[in-house]
């Protein structure tokens, strides 16, 4: 049955999907986004092809959910600007998340999110989630050579930005 298979995948991969989405979209209700990933997996179960691993397929869905969430947040910010209300970004981090993120992780998180989206995507998938070049290529719909080149450039950009932050201190 489909629900049994998705339940099995949920218990196997929900933490990986959670961490991916946390790094991808930042603060917010990541649990809701994880739930959305698995709802979309149920709806799209018939489209799953065994060409790639289940984890790769779920990360592709998670990336799309993350993109949708970021777009939704941008639309909300624009609505707030046009409704002539002052938009002040709020810290949406729970005390648990704040405890979980030590100073180094917070700085790394800020640096990763300051990168352009292609760099951020490849850093999260390759360095943080430790996916292979081919899995990353499948998720991003890139060829493997583009993954390697972009990853190399992203690491350089990450290093440069990290050095800039340290120089500011």
Would you give per-residue pLDDT tens digits along the chain (169 residues)? 777 888 899 999 999 999 999 988 887 789 999 999 999 998 888 887 777 789 999 999 999 999 999 888 877 765 554 443 333 444 555 655 555 556 666 677 778 888 899 999 998 898 888 888 999 999 999 999 999 999 999 988 888 887 776 666 5
All CATH 1.10.1740.10 domain ranges in the chain, comma separated: 1-99
Distance CA 112, CA 161 (A): 9
pLDDT (0 to 100) of residue 108? 76
Alpha carbon separation from 90 to 17, 25, 46, 58 (Å, rounded): 24, 15, 40, 30
Q: Which CATH class is domain 1-99?
A: mainly alpha
All CATH 1.10.10.10 domain ranges in the chain, comma separated: 101-169
pLDDT (0 to 100) of residue 61? 93
Model-wide pTM > 0.85: no
pLDDT (0 to 100) of residue 160? 85
Q: Which CATH class is domain 101-169?
A: mainly alpha
Distance CA 129, CA 59 (A): 10
pLDDT (0 to 100) of residue 26? 81
Minimal CA–CA distance to 56: which of 125, 123, 151, 8?
A: 125
Distance CA 109, CA 107 (A): 5
**Residue 62: phi, psi to the nearest 5?**
-60, -40
pLDDT (0 to 100) of residue 88? 41
pLDDT (0 to 100) of residue 114? 86
For 126-159, b where at least 16 C-beta lie within 10 A, e where not — what string? beebebebebbbbbbebeeebbbebbeebeebbe
């Amino acid at each position: 049955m489909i629900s049994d298979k998705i339940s099995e995948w949920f218990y196997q991969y929900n933490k990986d999907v959670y961490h991916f989405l946390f790094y991808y979209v930042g603060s917010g209700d990541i649990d809701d986004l994880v739930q959305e990933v698995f709802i979309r997996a149920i709806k799209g179960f018939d489209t799953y092809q065994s060409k790639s691993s289940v984890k790769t397929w779920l990360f592709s869905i998670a990336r799309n959910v993350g993109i949708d969430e970021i777009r939704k947040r941008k639309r909300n910010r624009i609505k707030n600007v046009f409704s002539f209300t002052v938009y002040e970004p709020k810290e949406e981090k729970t005390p648990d998340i704040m405890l979980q993120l030590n100073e180094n992780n917070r700085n790394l998180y800020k640096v990763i999110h300051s990168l352009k989206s292609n760099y951020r995507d490849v850093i999260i998938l390759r360095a943080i989630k430790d996916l292979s070049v081919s899995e990353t290529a499948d998720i991003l719909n890139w060829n493997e050579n583009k993954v390697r080149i972009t990853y190399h450039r992203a690491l350089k950009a990450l290093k440069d930005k990290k050095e800039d932050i340290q120089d500011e201190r």
